[in-house]
Amino acid sequence: MANVGDLVRLARNFRGFTQKKASIKLSIAQAVFSRIENGLVEPDEEFIRNAARAFNLPVEFFQISDTVYGPPVSVHAMLRGKSSEVTARDVDMITAELNIRLMHIRRFQENVDYDPPNEIPIMDVEQYGSINKIANTVRAHWKIVDGPIRNLTQIMERAGIIIGLSDFHGASISGVTFSAPGRAPIVLVNRHHPADRLRFTLAHELGHLVLHRFPTSDMENEANQFASSFLLPPSELKQVFRGRKITLALLASLKKEWRVSMQSLLMSASATNSVTKNQARYLWQQISSKGWRTREPASLDFEFDAPTVLPTMIRAHLDDLGFDLTELLKLSRVNEDDFEHFYGEFVDKEVNTRPRLRIVS
C-alpha cells in the first residue's frame, strides 16, 4: 500500500520534475523533500496542499491507497523505440503514468465487470524449442484462422489485456507493457504512430507477456521474432510469395492485405528464402532512398484497430451509471487536462464494437 512519500514521488515523476525543481517550487530544502519521499518525514496538510498546487493534481491524489510499482521488467528492453534516446527521466514519467492508469482501471472495474473469454498462455522458449512454434501455438490456442489477423487489438483484449493510447511525454517509444500481481496487464501504444507500426508493437508486447516473466539478454529480439511469426506465419507467407517476384509494388499490395509494414513483409520474404540476398539488398536500398525506413507512403496507411475495453468501461460510467465528468475526475484523482489527455478520444466518441460488460450492483 502506498504511503504519502510514494505518492509525492509519483506526482513528481509524472510531471517530470527533479527533486531539486520540486523542492524549489515547494519552497523547502531538497534534503527535507528527499526525506519526505523516502518516508522518513511525515508531511503535514499544508505540504500536501502545496504539493497539489505544485504538481497540478487534486489533494485527493495524495490519499490514493493503491500500491505504487516500480518500472516494468527490464524497462529499457520493454520500451519499444530508440533505446539510446530513452532517458531515465522518460522512464520515470512513463512508469508514473502507468501506475496512475493502473489505479484508474482498478477503480473502473469496481463498477463494471469484464470477463475476457481467453487467457494469455505462458510459454517457455527452451521448452517449446522455437519462437515460431510458440507464435503458432498461441494462434491455435486462441482459434485464430489462417491468413492476416484483422483486428489484433480485439484479439488481445479478449485475452484480458487492457490497451490504451499515450504520447509517452514525447519520448521515442512505440509501446510499453506493465503487469502487476492480480491485475490485468496494460499495454500502451503511441497514438501518433502509423497503424502498421502499432500493430507490430502490440504483437511485440504480446510476445513479452507470453515469453517473459523475468528479463533475459535476448528478450527484445525474442519479442520481435514472436511479433513477426504471429502476424506473418512463415509457412503461410512462403505460400504467398511462392512463384512471385518480390518487388516494392508487391510489398505495397500485400501491406494492406496483411496489415503490416512493407519492411516486415520484406524481412519475412528473406526469412522464408523467398528472395535472394542480392534482391533483398536492392529492395532495402530502394526503401532507404525513398525515406520509407521511418515512414512508409501515407497512401498505404490503414486504420488502427482502436481499443474497445477501456473506452467501454468509461462510457459505461457515463451512459449506464450516470456519472458526469466531474464525478469521473473525482474517481480518477487527476485534473481535467490529464483525464482528457488519457481518455479524451474515448469520452468524445462512441465505441463501434462494445465488449460485453456487466454493471456491478
Mean pLDDT by 10 residues, the chain (361 residues): 89 97 97 96 96 97 93 51 73 94 94 92 90 97 96 97 93 88 91 94 96 86 96 97 97 97 97 97 98 94 94 93 93 95 74 63 53
Contact partners, residue 338, CB within 8 Å, separation at least 6: 57
Task: Give kind and range of the element (H or E) at residue 24.
Answer: helix 19-26
Output the nine-digit C-alpha cell for 203.
504483437
Give the pLDDT of residue 1. Answer: 59
Count of structural domains, the chain? 2
Give the pLDDT of residue 179. Answer: 86
- Please give the sequence-ordered ranges of beta strands (E in DSSP) within 18-117, or none if there are none: 80-81, 112-113
292 domain-assigned? yes
- The CATH number for 62's domain is 1.10.260.40
Give CA–CA dist 5/41, Å, rounded.
8
Q: What is the pTM for the complete model shown? A: 0.91
254 domain-assigned? yes
240 SS3 class:
helix
Domain end (from 68, 92, 118): 68
188 domain-assigned? no
346 domain-assigned? no
Give CA–CA dist 75/113, Å, rounded.
30
Domain end (from 17, 34, 68): 68
291 domain-assigned? yes
333 domain-assigned? no
193 domain-assigned? no
319 SS3 class:
helix
Give the pLDDT of residue 353. Answer: 57
Give the pLDDT of residue 356. Answer: 63
Domain with 282 in it: 234-300
350 domain-assigned? no
Contact partners, residue 19, CB within 8 Å, separation at least 6: 12, 30, 33, 34, 37
Domain end (from 300, 319, 352): 300
